[in-house]
Amino acid sequence: MTERHALLHGLYAITPDTTADLDDRVAAALTGGARVIQYRNKCADADHRLAQAQRLAALCHAHDALLLINDDVALAAASGAHGVHLGQGDMPLAAARRELGAGAIIGITCHASIELARAAEAGGADYVAFGRFFASRSKPTAPPAPLSLVQEARRALGLPLVAIGGITPENGAQLIRAGAHMLAAIDGVFAAADIARTVRDWQALFAAGETDVENPDPKETP
């Protein structure tokens, strides 16, 4: 495991599409202790997204944090980001690895499927994401995933697990106890009045929840 892989833990902060002051918001999240930022912008044009991603990459590098780009391998390469997060309909994992190199972090959305996650692990993914676990404004039509999926994945896989979809500090603790290494949030981070403090609260949730993880480390079940 590289130093970058060691950062795949805790809050997984996904940026909102409304990004007029995004640099300041991400800086506040990093100040609060966020170490994984995913840049996701479905609205802006290519030039705006590149300029913004380059600035966020510089911020993340300065804070020893990871910047991952949602869906766009070319943008990840051009911006200096640490990697990319791919959906099932995006560029294939092997092609993304060729484009970005062995050192890039590549995560894969696996919805509610252990089979997709096994394939991602076999193909060299660095982490997998499951969900949605709760009602989600950003993914309203995504198939629901049961809590037991995290427990099963923790036993079956040797990769960090991200839980996504409608997650809040109030409902996230049960996912941590089930074995999630990261919890993804958009508005639960970037819509907060005090982003840095909110991030610290999220990270404290992990410190508390992981003392009572219901499953062993990946692939260590006797």
The answer to whether residue 221 sits within a structural domain is no
Residue 185 in tokens: 């949030």
Q: Give domain status of residue 140, yes or no.
A: yes
- Give the C-alpha separation, 78 to 82, whole Å: 11
State how far the Cα of 77 lies from the Cα of 106, in Å rounded to an integer.
12
CATH of the domain at 175: 3.20.20.70
Contact criterion met (CB below 8 Å) for 17 and 43: yes
For residue 15, the model assigns a pLDDT of 98
User: Alpha-carbon distance 54 to 131, whole Å?
Assistant: 29
Residue 189, domain member (yes or no): yes
What is the number of other CB atoms lying within 10 angstroms of the CB of residue 104?
A: 19
- Classify residue 217: in a domain, yes or no: no
Q: Which pTM was predicted?
A: 0.93
Q: Which residue from 1, 66, 81, 70 is spatially nearest to 34, judged by alpha carbons?
A: 66
How far apart (Å, rounded) are the C-alpha atoms in residues 53 and 143? 30
Q: Per the domain annotation, does 218 fall within a domain? A: no
Range of the domain at 162: 3-212
pLDDT for 64 equals 97
With respect to residue 43, please indicate whether it lies within any of the assigned structural domains. Answer: yes
How much is the pLDDT for 53?
Answer: 98
Q: So what's the pLDDT on residue 220?
A: 42
Cα dihedral 4, 8, 164, 83, rounded to 10, equals 0
Residue 58 belongs to a domain: yes
Count of domains for the chain: 1
List of the chain residues with pLDDT < 50: 215-216, 218, 220-222
Q: Is residue 37 part of a domain?
A: yes
Tokens of 110: 């696996």
User: Percent of the chain at pLDDT above 70?
Assistant: 93
Instruction: Give the pLDDT score at 218.
Output: 45
pLDDT digits (tens, 9 = 90+) for 98-151: 999 999 999 999 999 999 999 999 999 999 999 999 988 877 778 899 999 999
